[in-house]
Amino acid sequence: MKKTLIATAIAAVAFSGTAMGQATATSADSRADELAARMDSMPQVYGNIQYAIAYDDIDGGPSTLEHFDNGTTLGVSHEHDFAPGVTGFFKLELEGINADDKARSNGIDGLDEAYIGVKGDNFGQIWIGSDDSTYERAVDEISQYYEVAILNIGADYTTGEGDLVQYMSPSFGGLKLMAAVEVRGDGEPGVDDSRFPFQLAAIYSVDALELAVAMDSNDNGDGNSENSYGLRASYDMDNFRVTGEYHTRSDSSDTIGVIGYYTLGANTFALSYEMAEADNSDLERDTITFQALHNLSDHMYVYFEGYLGGGDDVYLYNENGAVDDAADAIGVSDERSIASIGAVYYF
């Protein structure tokens, strides 16, 4: 009888231990799943620190050497599914940290990007706020690629990157349609009457070839509301990419450019040529740019960039270096060269 009681007690303990173990395992699995779900639902925090040193030489004018923050940012983004096939998203990216010199830094004092939107496989995506514009993303590749980008010419378009409502369609057999409108209400500082400058673009991709066309209405009240039109063609061949661009705006300028990229392991090399010609004068300018970039890791890279710019009296300067305002200038030059090195750490 005692043996029976002892056996029964041992069986009970063994059963309860097994049950407790199963319950504990189940509870641990549930907590792990819950923790994973919470982690997936949390916003993503990202950022970078960018330093650069540039030597700027103006032919016949001064030479300067500068160490500077080249665009350090801190951001947060998030997205979630709130209906089958429909995702909501947001992004907030801050800048103006001046990470090179704490004596001149007031912390984060600028905004780079901030928007919210929805997207889905069937209808594309629509978003509202401050972001790169449709024209820029569609056809303005060369000037947006480089790190320091002091002498790059770029396209002539004026619709801003704030107060934007943008749309991008899903792919229709390789064709994507894009549109944007900048809502400039008459209640905003410096705006006399409401204006709605807009941009339209189309991108077609087939195999390694990508073709894009875009326009900007430039209806922002700067005195020239002539449309800007841009064309881009890009071709990818394994570790090589080449892009050609053409931009035109009446009563302003025509711009052409070509860039080639070659990737070799952790290294990328880029070489480009840009040229702009004014419509109402004989003024011309051009820029040759070279970049060598090396990825030290998945989170850090270093680079060298060299710029050689030429033109017809296009580089204004005073005793302190290059200036933008003619009233501040004491001279003008036909040639300017820049050599820069930089490092970026990002996460």
Q: Residue 105: what pLDDT?
A: 84
Q: Residue 15: what pLDDT?
A: 44
Q: Residue 106: what pLDDT?
A: 82
Q: In the chain, which ranges are E strands?
A: 44-58, 63-69, 73-83, 86-95, 110-120, 124-130, 164-168, 175-182, 198-206, 209-216, 228-237, 240-249, 253-264, 267-278, 284-295, 300-318, 321-322, 331-346
Contact 187/195 with Cβ under 8 angstroms?
no
| pLDDT tens readout for residues 113-136 | 999 999 999 999 999 999 999 999
Q: Residue 38: what pLDDT?
A: 74
Listed residue (119, 209, 207) closest to 170, CA to CA:
119
Q: Residue 289: what pLDDT?
A: 98
Q: How many alpha carbons lie under 13 Å from residue 111 in its C-beta half-sphere?
A: 11
Cα 71 from Cα 113, distance rounded (Å): 13
Q: Residue 186: what pLDDT?
A: 74
- Global pTM reads 0.86
Which residue ranges in the chain fall short of pLDDT 50?
A: 1-15
